[in-house]
Amino acid sequence: MIPTSPTQPVLADLYRPVSDDLIEVERIFDAELAGDLPFIDKLCERVRSYRGKMLRPALLLLTAKTFGPCDERAHTLAAVVEMVHMATLVHDDVLDEASERRKQPTVASVEGNVAAVLLGDYLISHAFHLCSSLDSQFASRRVGATTNIVCEGELLQNLHCGDMALSEDVYFDIVRRKTGVLTAVASELGAYAGGASGEAMSAAYEFGLACGIAFQIVDDVLDIVGDPSRVGKTLGQDILLGKLTLPTILFMQFEGDDSKSLAESLSSGRSVNRQSLADMLREKGCIDAALAVARSHVKRSQQHLEVLPTGAARDCLMGMAEFIMRRRF
């Protein structure tokens, strides 16, 4: 099972060095989306309820903070990466046919898929508009390239939907593109905003990439064994849609009737009981094995931080990497 620790710091503690900066990021985010069409404002207000961990803005700001105080450029870039992330959530809820996000009805479930897709596009458009306000084009190019890779990851996952022979290599390629690169560029842009050297920016990128991969593995585990009341979103959708993730890929490697039956159910679209699946995966050690892989990525991410200046901000980045293994939502 996912480990717990009574001494593990909560995100509020880890975010403390940038708490005021995060308030400014939210102000910039809201100001960018403010418009003159009430029904769009209503949709954007629903998106604001998607705000949860603010992981990517916090990673960016804490990385910048290791090099000195956060400035307006750091605040703007943090709002940009959160806006791109919000757009991916809105689109993901359409792709995953999810009805709940952050314990609230999804945009797609309330307003329909067309409105949700258009709203996701609207958020992406505003993210680039906001990014273009900066003097340098470096951030715009990096965000643009990253958004392209995220879309490639979604397309690659869609291609392999229902693929019961999905390999670990392809799974990790999907995860790297779909999730890893956005946390990677958030950390990289934090180092950039802090005036870091090329070596430090590369290390920050690798830190964020490893964190993002670990985060997605834990997310995939929670999709199977998580408590819906704590996770706050629709669970079991990967199973329902025939998407193999690391725990189920590991399970498929076992020869036997259980793995054959699961493959037949997933490929045919038959319903799979989430609790029964969780029990089978636990029995075969697939949950623990997947979490061990996530843990290895967390350790790798922390090693990359050794290049960054020591201090409270770097300590919090270390803690945020550790939080990935402890989270329940």
> pLDDT tens, position by position, for the chain (329 residues)?
444 443 456 888 999 999 999 999 999 999 999 988 999 998 998 888 777 789 999 999 999 999 999 999 999 999 999 999 999 999 998 988 888 877 788 899 999 999 999 999 999 999 999 999 998 899 999 999 999 999 999 999 999 988 989 999 999 999 999 999 999 999 999 999 999 999 999 999 999 999 999 999 999 999 998 877 666 566 777 887 888 999 999 998 887 777 888 888 777 667 778 888 899 899 999 999 999 999 999 999 999 999 999 999 999 999 999 999 987 65
Count of C-beta atoms within a 10 Å radius of residue 248: 27
Give how many domains the chain has, as a whole number: 1
- Residues spanned by the domain of 90: 11-326
Encoded tokens for 132: 């273009």
In-domain check, residue 39: yes
In-domain check, residue 275: yes
In-domain check, residue 55: yes
* pLDDT value of position 236: 74
* pLDDT value of position 244: 92
In-domain check, residue 114: yes
One-letter amino acid of 220: D
What residues have CB less than 8 Å from 28, skipping those under 6 apart? 75, 76, 79, 130
- Among residues 183, 166, 164, 179, the alpha carbon closest in space to that of 259 is found at 164
Report yes or no on whether pTM surpasses 0.85.
yes
In-domain check, residue 139: yes
- What is the per-residue DSSP string for 92-122? HHHHTT--EETTEE-HHHHH-HHHHHHHHHH
In-domain check, residue 300: yes
Query: What would the pLDDT profile of 260-293 be if each residue is shown by its tens digit?
Result: 888 887 776 677 788 888 998 999 999 999 999 9
Whether 317 and 60 have beta carbons less than 8 Å apart is answered as: no
* DSSP, res 178: I
In-domain check, residue 6: no
* pLDDT value of position 3: 44
Query: What would the pLDDT profile of 59-116 be if each residue is shown by its tens digit?
Result: 999 999 999 999 999 999 999 999 999 999 999 989 888 888 777 888 999 999 999 9
In-domain check, residue 302: yes
Query: What would the pLDDT profile of 82-97 be if each residue is shown by its tens digit?
Result: 999 999 999 998 988 8
Whether 190 and 63 have beta carbons less than 8 Å apart is answered as: yes
Encoded tokens for 263: 């493959």
Residue 168 sits in a domain whose CATH number is 1.10.600.10
One-letter amino acid of 72: E
* pLDDT value of position 329: 59
